[in-house]
Amino acid sequence: MSCRCSEFQKTTSELQLLNKSILDIVTKLAEQTSMLNRAVFKSATHCGCIEIHGTKQIFSPHKSLEENQQELDTHIEGELCPKCRDKIIEEMGELLFYLASMCEALDISLENVLTEKHNHLKTLGLYNLL
């Protein structure tokens, strides 16, 4: 069952109980970011389904942005196993819950945030990221 951002934000707001304060939401959002990062790294360090090999990204001034983009590396080797994938999806969902909670507390539409960012990305393309 898929849902729209506005429905997700509405459900989130209906379930606000312990974390209604913006102070709690901000700290939970930061904590949840760490939980998500930990789930990604544990896929490499505990499970081993992926390996992370950090190396310098080579960006050539003599190539186009598109050509450089093709040659950049994720530094990930292998694929997530179903267990790690489920855990990361769960942590991403928690992160979205706190982001939607922040939107609700500040009277901002999560759907508008996504739409504006999407339009911005489509307009500027790769140049948005420089």
Residue 15 or 47 having the CB closest to Zn ion: 47
Which of 39, 84, 100, 102 touches Zn ion by CB under 5 A?
84
Tokens, residue 80: 């997530």
Asked if 81 touches Zn ion (CB under 5 A), the answer is: yes
Please identify, among the stretches 69-77, 81-89, 101-109, 115-123, the one whose residues bind Zn ion according to the rule CB under 5 A.
Answer: 81-89
- Smallest gap from Cβ 88 to Zn ion, in A, equals 9
Residue 12 or 43 having the CB closest to Zn ion: 43
Q: Indicate the pairing of strand 76-78 with strand 50-52.
A: antiparallel
Interface with Zn ion in residues 10-69 (CB under 5 A): 43, 47, 49
| Total of residues contacting Zn ion (CB under 5 A) | 5
* Contact (CB, 8 A) for 8 and 96: yes
- Long-range pairs of 104-107 with CB within 8 A, sequence gap ≥ 24: 104/9, 104/12, 104/13, 104/16, 105/20, 105/21, 105/22, 105/25, 106/22
DSSP for 50-80, please give it. Answer: EEE---PPP--TTS-HHHHHHH----EEE--
- Smallest gap from Cβ 83 to Zn ion, in A, equals 6
Residue 50 or 102 having the CB closest to Zn ion: 50
- Smallest gap from Cβ 92 to Zn ion, in A, equals 16
Q: How many CB atoms lie within 10 A of CB 36?
A: 17
Query: Under the rule (CB under 5 A), what is the footprint of Zn ion?
Result: 43, 47, 49, 81, 84
